[in-house]
Structure 1
Amino acid sequence: MDYCPPNATLSGVLHGEVHRCFLDTVTDPFLLVVSLLAGCHQYKLYSTFSTPLDSTNFNSSYLFYLQLFLHGFLPVINILSFITGIFGFISPVHGVDILNIITGTLPWFFTGVLLHMERGRQLPVSPTNGHGPVLLIFWTLAFMLISDFVA
């Protein structure tokens, strides 16, 4: 099994050629590292210092359920595009595809755990009505990377 598709190599970057193989090798693991390192730190903070919130104090928010849906649906899109590429277009599986399926789905589930934790627990600081910096940085990076692939 080859790591990159034909005519696309990682060494092409040294010659000024940036292929999709290189972008997938760099960007998706970067999101995984950000979500793991910063997410583990925030998870440790919340599990050590936070207190549970009383669920009767806040109303049910449709935007929160939309965020939960997107955190579950975006990895499913990644998995379905992989399956469509294999069975629908009968394209061979490359190593970068396997890396992409793993590193493209795991960060969304890790940050989904943080989303639940931010919703149900409160740190001993003044209450905020927004998200923590880990989720905001992750979403910003994810949308920057998505817009880079779309353009």
Structure 2
Amino acid sequence: MEDFIINVKVLNGVFGHKFLENPVILNNKSIDDFKFTQEKILDSNEDTNLFLNVKDLTAKAIQTDEGIVVLKRSQVAISSRKFGYSSLRDKLITDKIISTNSLGELYFTKNCPFSSPSAAAAVILGYSVNGRNIWRNSEGKSLKEIENYNIK
């Protein structure tokens, strides 16, 4: 019976359904428990900490098995081009997940999961970009470099 359940979970994961999966928890804390700081993400494994620094924008995220979670207070570009994730960006703004602060800057009001690093980076920057090249760890290694290293 356990083998059957494992197979069902695998098949569901292939089709993008996570209803049999437990919520994402790292170090016995849920994603909402992570703190946003200038230096690092507290209570997190260094391998999961990701940073996006482009122009004057700073965003922080945690990599999970299900994708990437952009953390609350991450900055978002004010201007945006028409691109593949424009409708997602517009929906996040409409739903107040991305909002404007008193200085007129856009930022995330809560932690927001994305299925891919490229989707997260594109929503933040306002144009299409390869997120595997943009997101970096605290040592400056890109997500692509980290993934290639872990494959070996």
Fold agreement, TM-score > 0.5: no
The structure, 1 or 2, with the larger RCO (C-alpha pairs under 8 Å, 6+ apart) is 1
**Structure (1/2) with the larger helix percentage:** 1
| More strand by percentage | 2
TM-score normalised to structure 2 length: 0.26
Looking at CA atoms only, which structure, 1 or 2, has the larger radius of gyration? 1
TM superposition score normalised by structure 1: 0.26
